[in-house]
Copies of this chain bind each other. A is one copy, B any other.
Amino acid sequence: MIIHIEPHADTPIYTQLTKQIIEGIARGYMRPGDSLPSVRALAGDLGVNMHTVNKSYHELEKRGIIRIIPKSGAVIQAPVVVTQDSHHYEHITDELKSAIAEALVLGIQTEQVEELVTSIIQDLHAEAEKK
């Protein structure tokens, strides 16, 4: 899986990495049960510091996406049933609400927002089916 980091973007490196790993899993480039590269190996590939990758991995663990096994490695979690009162669900809802509110204020109509969401989901699923 290809990861591209822009060192001087306004988004922190560890956040760029976290987002791209999540999108990579959504696209099916990596599957539940798969191991992520070691923090040293990935840091070497990306040309960033070990601690930066480590911070991203712990961010992913906090969001319930991977499981870090001490002294061993990081494994992609199997999807669990997310209840509406979990903090994971609240986090997703908050992110969606921010984006949707901004879209509506800018004049994007309700139907267009829903169509955009559908097309994003289709885009994410597109390549996942090939695997």
> What is the interface of chain A, defined by CB distance below 8 A to chain B?
19, 22-23, 25-26, 63-65, 79-82, 88-89, 91-93, 95-108, 110, 113-114, 116-118, 120-121, 124-125
A100 contacts across to B, CB distance below 8 A:
26, 96, 117, 120-121, 124
The docked-state distance in angstroms from the alpha carbon of A87 to that of B61 is 32
The docked-state distance in angstroms from the alpha carbon of A100 to that of B113 is 13
Q: Is there an interface contact between B120 and A96, defined as CB atoms closer than 8 Å? A: yes
The docked-state distance in angstroms from the alpha carbon of A25 to that of B79 is 36
CB proximity of A22 to chain B, nearest CB, Å: 5
A-side interface mostly: helix
CB proximity of A65 to chain B, nearest CB, Å: 6
With contact pairs A26-B101, A114-B117, A124-B100 given, residues A108 and B95 touching in the complex (Cβ less than 8 Å): no
With contact pairs A95-B99, A97-B120, A116-B93 given, residues A65 and B22 touching in the complex (Cβ less than 8 Å): no
Q: Is there an interface contact between B108 and A82, defined as CB atoms closer than 8 Å? A: yes
Chain B, Cβ-Cβ closest to A19: B98
CB proximity of A88 to chain B, nearest CB, Å: 6
With contact pairs A99-B96, A101-B23, A101-B26 given, residues A114 and B118 touching in the complex (Cβ less than 8 Å): yes
A121 contacts across to B, CB distance below 8 A:
100, 104, 110, 113-114
